[in-house]
Amino acid sequence: MNLTEVPSGRKARIESILDPVTRDYLLRLGIVEGSTVECVQRMARGPVVVRKSSLELSLGRRVAERILVSSVGDDP
């Protein structure tokens, strides 16, 4: 599952960040493989907005598609 498939309001665990540039950027913001982020908003064919503690970040569609995640928490 990639980040664009996480419903708004749900949390997800980052499993793998495929693009090295994205990886480098997110690493310095404190988002790495194993981090949990909340998906605040995903737009149809548009960006995904994620939140981790007080950081809010907008990630374009093509960026989010290359971030693999697993679901966390509320799932049965």
Partner 1 sequence: MRDNPHGLEEIKSIVLVGNPNTGKSVLFGELTRQFAEVSNYPGTTLLLSEGWMADFVVIDTPGVYGLYSSKEEEVVRQAVEASGIVINVMDATNLERGLWLALELLETGKTVFNVLNMWDEVETTGLVIDVERLGSLLGTPVFTTVAVKGVGIKELVGAITSHMEAPAERSLSQTADFSLDDALGTSELSSSGTAEATLSRRQRIEDILEGVLVRVPERRGLADVLSEIMIRPLTGVPLALAILGGVFYLIGAFVAQDLVAFTEGVIFQQIYEPAVRLIVGSVLSGPLYEIIAGEFGVLTMTVTYVLGLLLPLVFAFYVLMALLEDTGYLPRLATLADRTFTAMGMNGKAVIPIVLGFGCVTMATITTRMLDKRRERTIAIALLALAVPCSAQMAVILVLLAGLGFIYWALYGGILLGVFLLIGGVLSRIIPGERSAFMYELPKLRLPQWRNVLRKARFRTRIFITNVFPLFFLGALFISVLLVTGALGAAQQALHPLVTGWLGLPPEGATALIMGFVRRDFGAAGFFHMALTPIQAVVGMIVITLFIPCIASVMVIHKEMGLKGVLGILGFTLGTAFLTGGIIYRVLTFFLGG
CA distance 24 to 28: 7
Q: Which of 15, 18, 36, 43 binds partner 1 (CB under 8 A)?
A: 43
* Measured distance CA(61)–CA(43) in Å, rounded: 9
From candidates 58, 68, 71, 72, binder to partner 1 by CB under 8 A: 58
Q: Which residue among 1, 15, 18, 27 contacts partner 1 (CB under 8 A)?
A: 27
Instruction: Check residue 22 for interaction with partner 1 (CB under 8 A).
Output: yes
Chain centroid offset of residue 74 CA: 17
Closest by Cα among 57, 31, 58, 38 to 47: 58
Q: Taking a C-beta distance cutoff of 8 angstroms, is the pair 50, 59 a contact? A: yes
CB of 33 to partner 1, least distance (A): 10
The residues that touch partner 1, with contacts defined as CB under 8 A, are 19, 21-22, 24-25, 27-30, 32, 40-41, 43-47, 49, 53-63
